[in-house]
């Protein structure tokens, strides 16, 4: 077993102004690598507290990962904290300076006096190169533990980590063989996903967990020890069988928008969204995906009733009869998007994001999405959320894309 502890530093993390994505990212990398994450904690930008946290972590870990506070300013105290934990002074390090100077040279600039702080390391520690920024990482040893200082900005943190840490972990020979599988699902609430795989979740090995993320739910399988790959694959495939069409991908970074773009691309189809409640979010999600231009030319944001009529040609009589937040209007919008966008696929959203009901008394959190495919009956889906405004918008966009995904799969 190889034990990892994570220490996040910075008052803005401690106070909740910065969400600690670094700790989550590092914990996931450690788990996938076959290490065991023992604990993660956060301390402010205070050298004595950082020193205490490093000492405490080093007593119970083979590697302590510390993020943040490696910048050039006075509030960047992590190098000082490590020096205090090690009981050594910080000294100017030529190798670290070379890393700082190299970054400035690439950017066509000269390092200033404040950057010398970034090259001042606890005596006996080593600098770790940083391709993405000026602050070198730092590698030290406290008792039996490696202590690795990583920059706070996520891109720099990931880069220093990737270039220095995994190889060092592997060299110890103490990582457990580990296999991690993910199934991303949409269109089914987490409780139902969990119910379908309840027995798999209760079994102690491989571990199976459900992790909801804004309308999609990840099922993650982690197998440890001998035959980890085969055991994880067997459980993942059983989960896949049970979850059926809800499964949209088996890759960590492939979410509903990626699945839709891939599916359209594979079928040589293109899509036009007409969005009310999501205000362009469906389009925004589509263009997150590299290669979206091959399946997406543009779309409509039709927020008011008048614009639904003027831009999309939704009939005033239909709007008056059913209200804008209704299945018939969602259907008319999706069909108009398809026709006016001259694409084989149209998708629409309409809803009440809240707070509060709309003018007709339709309660907040009510939404309808529709998917119109050439030569097929248009499908609509009624949604009901009890969530804040932005979350309703996000979930509605995910549901619209998922309806497109399922409609394409059934085609
Ligand atoms: P800088 O040179 O920018 O000062 P640094 O290594 O000193 O970098 P911090 O000052 O602690 O790092 O943080 C810089 C920025 O990095 C923060 O404002 C925040 O945007 C981001 N950041 C820091 N810690 C975290 C974290 N744990 N998770 C996510 N982002 C973080
Ligand atoms: Mg800083």
pLDDT digits (tens, 9 = 90+) for 113-167: 888 888 999 999 999 999 898 889 999 999 999 999 999 999 999 999 999 999 9
Gap between the Cα atoms of 395 and 411, Å rounded: 24
Q: Closest ligand to 16 CA?
A: 1
- Identify the band that residue 411 occupies on the pLDDT scale cut at 50, 70 and 90: confident
Q: Strand ranges (DSSP E) for 300-409?
A: 300-301, 345-351, 366-373, 379-384
Query: For residues 200 and 239, is the Cβ–Cβ distance under 8 A?
Result: yes
Token pair 């996040």 in the structure block, residue: 8
pLDDT number for residue 205 = 93
Ligand 1 touching residue 76 (CB < 6 A): yes
Cα 77 to ligand 2 centre (Å): 8
Considering only residues 72 and 371, tell me which one the structure prediction assigns the higher pLDDT. Answer: 371
pLDDT number for residue 140 = 98
Distance of CA 365 to the CA centre of its chain: 24
Q: Tell me the HSE value of 198 on the side-chain side, using a 13 A CA sphere.
A: 4
Q: Report the atom number in ligand 1 closest to the C-alpha of 157.
A: 6
- 6, 9, 10, 99, best to mutate for ligand 1 pocket (most atoms within 8 Å of CB): 10
Q: Closest ligand to 152 CA?
A: 1
Using DSSP bridges, classify how beta strands 63-67 and 145-150 pair: parallel, antiparallel or unpaired. Answer: parallel
Residue positions counted in the chain? 411
Count CB neighbours of 320 within 10 A.
10
What is the rounded (10 degree) CA torsion for 386, 389, 390, 391?
0
Cα 112 to ligand 2 centre (Å): 16
Between the CA of residue 135 and those of 77, 153, 270, what are the distances in Å?
13, 10, 45
- Phi then psi dihedrals of residue 144, to 5 deg: -95, 5
Nearest to 189 by CA among 219, 213, 217: 217
Ligand 1 touching residue 21 (CB < 6 A): yes
Q: Closest ligand to 118 CA?
A: 1
State the helix-helix crossing angle for 305-312 and 327-341, rounded to 10 degrees: 30
Distance of CA 235 to the CA centre of its chain: 24
- 73, 153, 155, best to mutate for ligand 1 pocket (most atoms within 8 Å of CB): 153
CA max distance for the chain? 79
Ligand 1 touching residue 8 (CB < 6 A): yes
Ligand 1 touching residue 115 (CB < 6 A): no
Fill in the DSSP letter of residue 400: H
pLDDT number for residue 18 = 96
pTM for this model (two decimals): 0.83
pLDDT number for residue 325 = 98
Gap between the Cα atoms of 208 and 181, Å rounded: 9
Cα 23 to ligand 2 centre (Å): 16
Nearest to 349 by CA among 329, 377, 378: 329
Look at ligand 1, atom 8, and give the residue with the nearest C-alpha: 71
Residue 368 exposed, middle or buried by CB count within 10 Å (0-12, 13-18, 19+): buried
- Identify the band that residue 110 occupies on the pLDDT scale cut at 50, 70 and 90: confident
- 18, 100, 133, 158, best to mutate for ligand 1 pocket (most atoms within 8 Å of CB): 18
Q: Strand ranges (DSSP E) for 33-189?
A: 36-43, 63-67, 90-92, 120-122, 126-128, 137-142, 145-150, 178-186
Ligand 1 touching residue 341 (CB < 6 A): no
pLDDT tens column, 302-325:
999 999 999 999 999 999 999 999
Which tokens in the block code for residue 71?
């910048």
Gap between the Cα atoms of 397 and 286, Å rounded: 10
pLDDT number for residue 114 = 84
Q: Tell me the HSE value of 124 on the side-chain side, using a 13 A CA sphere.
A: 13
Share of the chain above pLDDT 70, in %: 100
pLDDT tens column, 183-231:
999 999 999 999 999 999 999 999 999 999 999 999 999 999 999 999 9
pLDDT number for residue 396 = 98
Res. 293: pLDDT tops 90: yes
CA angle centred on 286, ends 365 and 258, rounded to 5°: 100
Average pLDDT score over the chain: 96
Cα 392 to ligand 2 centre (Å): 35
Cα 10 to ligand 1 centre (Å): 7
pLDDT tens column, 86-101:
999 999 999 999 988 8
Residues 6+ positions from 241 with CB-CB distance below 8 Å? none
Between the CA of residue 8 and those of 21, 34, 353, what are the distances in Å?
10, 21, 35
- 68, 151, 154, best to mutate for ligand 1 pocket (most atoms within 8 Å of CB): 68
- Identify the band that residue 112 occupies on the pLDDT scale cut at 50, 70 and 90: confident
Average pLDDT for 23-28:
96
**361: left (phi > 0), else alpha (psi -120 to 50), else beta?**
left
**208: left (phi > 0), else alpha (psi -120 to 50), else beta?**
beta
């Amino acid at each position: 077993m190889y034990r990892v502890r994570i220490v996040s530093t910075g008052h803005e993390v401690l106070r909740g102004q910065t969400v600690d994505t670094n700790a989550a990212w590092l914990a996931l990398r450690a788990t996938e690598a076959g290490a065991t994450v023992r604990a993660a904690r956060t301390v402010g930008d205070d050298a004595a507290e950082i020193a205490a946290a490093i000492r405490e972590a080093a007593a119970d870990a083979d590697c302590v990962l510390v993020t943040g506070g490696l910048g050039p300013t006075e509030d960047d105290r992590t190098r000082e904290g490590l020096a205090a934990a090690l009981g050594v002074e910080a000294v100017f390090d030529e190798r670290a300076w070379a890393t700082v100077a190299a970054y400035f040279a690439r950017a066509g600039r000269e390092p200033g006096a404040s950057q010398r702080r970034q090259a001042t390391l606890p005596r006996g520690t080593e600098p770790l190169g940083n391709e993405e920024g000026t602050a070198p990482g730092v590698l030290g040893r406290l008792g039996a533990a490696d202590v690795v200082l990583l920059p706070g900005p996520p891109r720099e943190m990931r880069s220093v980590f990737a270039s220095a840490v995994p190889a060092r972990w592997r060299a110890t020979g103490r990582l457990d063989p580990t296999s991690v599988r993910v199934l991303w699902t949409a269109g089914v609430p987490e409780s139902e996903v969990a119910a379908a795989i309840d027995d798999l979740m209760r079994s102690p090995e491989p571990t199976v967990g459900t992790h909801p993320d804004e309308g999609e739910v990840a099922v993650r399988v982690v197998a440890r020890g001998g035959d980890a790959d085969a055991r994880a694959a067997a459980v993942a495939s059983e989960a896949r069988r049970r979850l059926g069409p809800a499964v949209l991908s088996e890759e960590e970074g492939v979410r509903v928008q990626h699945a839709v773009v891939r599916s359209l691309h594979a079928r040589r189809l293109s899509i036009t969204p007409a969005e009310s409640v999501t205000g362009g979010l469906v389009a925004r999600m589509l263009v997150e995906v590299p290669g979206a231009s091959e399946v997406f030319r543009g779309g409509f944001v039709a927020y008011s009733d008048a614009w639904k009529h003027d831009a999309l040609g939704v009939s005033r009589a239909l709007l008056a009869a059913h209200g804008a937040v209704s299945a018939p209007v969602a259907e008319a919008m999706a069909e108009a998007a398809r026709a006016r966008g001259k694409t084989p696929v149209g998708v629409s959203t309409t809803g009440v994001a809240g707070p509060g009901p709309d003018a007709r008394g339709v309660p907040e959190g009510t939404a309808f999405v529709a998917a119109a495919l050439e030569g097929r009956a248009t499908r609509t889906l009624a949604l009901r959320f009890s969530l804040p405004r932005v979350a309703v918008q996000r979930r509605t966009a995910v549901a619209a894309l998922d309806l497109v995904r399922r409609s394409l799969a059934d085609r």
